[in-house]
Amino acid sequence: MKKLILQKGLLFVFTILVISTINANAAEELLKVDKTLIIQIVIFIAAIFILNSLLFKPLLQLVERREQLTTGRIKEAKELERKVEQIIKEYKEKLDEVRAKAMEERNEIRRQAQAAAEEMIAKAHSETQALLEEAKAKLELEAREIRAKIKPEIEILSRNMASRNMASQVLGREL
């Protein structure tokens, strides 16, 4: 395999040497400076000026305009993004303010409800105390009236019991 590669390489080098010696005369003719070379240089320079004005400048202007539009759009997009972020920030701030205000109002309503509940409880307690005092006074009055009514009866009953007790002691037996 190595021999085959070496043989092919040598054959290639030999072929190049043969071709280069054959074309040596043709190369000398190509390198000669004559009037056709000057005409070719003039044509080349004219082609550069013509292509510059007709092709390169409009193409460069188009590329520059496209770049300006692109950078303008990018700047515009960044500006819009900044505005959107600002609006979102303001929205969040207002939302936080509204939430705080709602929380304050809710707490105020709770405080008012708590105060109203405490007031109602105090009122019910005072009404209950008043009713209790009234009931006690009424019971005391009724107790006095009953005592006053039964006092004569108690006196009669006690006299009767005392007389029976004495009679049983005098008689020696129980009645």
More confident residue, 7 or 72: 72
Number of domains the chain is built from: 1
Is 116 inside any structural domain?
yes
> Considering the domain boundaries, does residue 148 fall inside one?
yes
Report the percent of the chain where pLDDT is more than 70: 78
Is 5 within a domain? no
Mean pLDDT over 115-125 rounds to 90
Residue 6 lies in a domain: no
Q: Which two tokens stand for residue 32?
A: 């000669």
Q: Tell whether the model's pLDDT for residue 2 goes beyond 70.
A: no
Tell me the pLDDT of the chain averaged across its residues: 81
Tell me how far CA of residue 65 lies from CA of 54, 58, 73, 149, in angstroms. 17, 10, 12, 123
- In this predicted structure, the answer to whether residue 16 has a pLDDT above a threshold of 80 is no
Residue 20 lies in a domain: no
Task: Answer for the pair 40, 32: CB distance below 8 angstroms, yes or no.
Answer: no
Residue 69 clears pLDDT 90, i.e. is over it: no
Q: Is the pTM of this model over 0.75?
A: no
Mean pLDDT computed over 80-102: 94
Is 61 within a domain? yes
Q: Does residue 147 contact residue 140 with C-beta atoms inside 8 Å?
A: no
In-domain check, residue 115: yes
Domain membership of residue 69 as a residue range = 35-171
* pLDDT(5) > 70: no
Asked whether residue 81 is assigned to any structural domain, the reply reads yes
Residue 1 in 3-state DSSP?
coil
Please say if the pLDDT value at position 38 is more than 70. Answer: yes
Length of the chain: 175
pLDDT score for 23: 57
